[in-house]
Amino acid sequence: MNLKEIYSELLSNIGFSANEIQQNWLDLEKAYSKKSRYYHNLTHLKEMVDSFEIYKDKLQKPDEILFSIFYHDFIYSASKKDNELKSAEYALSILSENSILNKQLVFDAICATQQHQQNSIEDINWLIDFDLKILAKDWEDYQIYFDQIRKEYRIYPDFLYKPGRAKALKHFLENEFIFQTNEFRNLYEEKARINIEKEISLLM
């Protein structure tokens, strides 16, 4: 299934009408297709959904996590610090009062994609890892990723961007682990650290 079909099936399962699904998809597509989004776009969503499809059997609340994937970057501005909070608030705003989804889990999951720290709720750790899997790509793909991030922050000159980016990357290395689940640590931790160290050296 493509992204729209997966999204439509999810919303249908949690009680949205066909008209609501179509309108919400158009709103989502518009948000993630803005010209300023070089990385935080529909391709990023698709890669996260691909990871979700592989590991969804390990989740306690798969619908909440899938819904969170679709909305975790709904609001995105490189100059703002509250994108995740605003995205979480928006995600809850389209759910009905009697929605079958656990709204608190959706809100907490989306907000957790800001700091990417270990969470007491394992489903949220999976979401964080889906979001960070890009860090363990082959170097050529990782280069494309950090070039896309640079374009999203193009309003900032190098003398501001480079130390800021390096600081953010060093924060990952300072944590005991980048990834929060054992599966992702075993598969991707070493490669992610090598990529990050390499990028930091290019920023210096």
Give phi and psi for 192, each to the nearest 5.
-60, -45
* 97-147 tens-digit pLDDT: 999 999 999 999 999 999 999 999 999 999 999 999 999 999 999 999 999
163: Cβ contacts below 8 Å, ≥ 6 apart: 203
Q: What is the three-class DSSP state of 117?
A: coil
Residues of the chain with pLDDT under 50: none
Place of tokens 């979001």: 131
Place of tokens 């082959």: 138
